[in-house]
Amino acid sequence: MTSPQQITQASDLPLGSGVRLITSNKHGLVALDKPAGLMSHPNKEGESKRSLLQASYDYDDEVYTWQVGEVQHRAWLINRLDSPTSGVILLALNEDINTAIKQLFSTHKVTKVYYALVRRVPSVPAGSWSDSLKKDVYHGKKLIKGGQRIPAETRYQVAKAATGGFPVALLRLLPLTGRTHQLRVQCQNHRHPIVGDRTYGSFSFNKEVAIETGEKRMMLHSGETSMRYPFQGKMHDFKAESELPEAFDRVMRFRPGRNVGKPVLSSKKPNSRSSLAGRRFRR
C-alpha cells in the first residue's frame, strides 16, 4: 500500500468552513488560517463540521483521517488554537515531519507571534510578564483544581493604541512558554483583559463593544509562526503569516457618534447620534 507520505498533498485536505491554506512545503509541513469559532479538532465524534478539517480524528495519535476512494489520507495536528482564537495553525502530512516539528514545540524553539486587542493601554509600552499559573492535576482518580503552579512568561509590545474611542490597545505578544490559555490568563492578570473573552474578560466592557460595533468575537489572533528545523540531515526554515482580521480594526476605529458597526444586542432603531457620544467608557 502506498504510504500517506507519498500520496497526501495540501490540496487533498478537506478544509473546514472558512479555513484557508497559507503555505506548505515539500516535507509535508502545512500552515492553515483558522477562523474564529472553529475547533482545532472535534471534541467528540460527529462534530467534524465545526473543526479544522472535515474528517475523523484520533485523539490518542492526534491525527485526522479521511478516505477518498480506496486511498486513506492522514494529517497530524501539530499545535492547537482555542476555538475563539483565529490565525496560523500547523499540520503535518507525514509522521516524520510531525515528530520533528513537535520536538521543536516541546523545547520552545518555535517562534509564535500573537496579536490581542485588550482593554486599557499598558503604562509601559513594552516588557515581559512572568507569572505562576494554576493547573488542574489528578491525585489518583481525584481531580484537584489548581493543584499545581507552573511558570508562564510572555513578552509584550504595544503595536497600536486607540484614541477617542474605546480604551483599547493592540498588543503584540510573544509567548516564551506554552501553557493552556496562557495569553488570556496573563492579559487578565495584568489588568488588560482581551476584548471579547467570555471566560477571562470583562463582561460589561465586551457588551459595550458588541452593542456599538457588532463585534462579539474574542480579539486574539495567531499572526505568525516561524522556525528553523532539522529534517533529513539538513536545516530548513519555515514561516507562515496571517493578516489581522478586519474585526480588530473596526473596534480600534470606533468613535462615538460615528456608525461603524451594526448594533446587535438591541432591536431599537439606531439614532443618528451614538448613544455613547460624549461619555467616557469604563477603564
Which residues, including other chains, have CB under 8 Å from residue 261's CB and lie 6 or more apart?
212, 213, 214, 215, 250, 254
| Weakest-pLDDT range from 65-74, 123-132, 160-169, 251-260 | 251-260
pLDDT tens for 203-228 read: 999 999 999 999 999 999 999 999 99
Q: Is 237 a residue of the active site?
A: no
Query: What CATH fold (topology level) applies to the domain 111-224+243-283?
Result: Pseudouridine synthase (3.30.2350)
Query: What's the pLDDT score for residue 257?
Result: 73
pLDDT tens for 41-50 read: 998 665 667 8
User: What integer is the mean pLDDT of 165-171?
Assistant: 97
Query: What's the pLDDT score for residue 45?
Result: 61
**Whole-prediction pTM value?**
0.85
- 1-107 belongs to CATH 3.30.70: yes
pLDDT tens for 225-266 read: 999 999 999 999 999 999 999 999 999 999 987 654 444 444
Q: Alpha-carbon distance 111 to 117, whole Å? A: 20
Work out the pLDDT band at 269, boundaries 50, 70, 90.
Answer: very low
Going from N- to C-terminal start, the domains of the chain cover 1-107, 111-224+243-283
Residue 16 has pLDDT above 60, yes or no: yes
Closest-CA residue to 152 (of 194, 120, 184, 125): 184
- Mean pLDDT of the residues in the chain: 87
Q: Alpha-carbon distance 32 to 234, whole Å? A: 24
Q: Could you give the percent of the chain with pLDDT greater than 70?
A: 82
The dihedral formed by the CA atoms of 35, 40, 44 and 46, expressed in degrees to the nearest 10: 50
Catalytic pick among 61, 82, 136, 249: 82
| Weakest-pLDDT range from 2-6, 7-11, 189-193 | 2-6
Pick left, alpha or beta for residue 148 (phi over 0 → left; psi -120 to 50 → alpha; otherwise beta). beta
User: What integer is the mean pLDDT of 71-94?
Assistant: 97
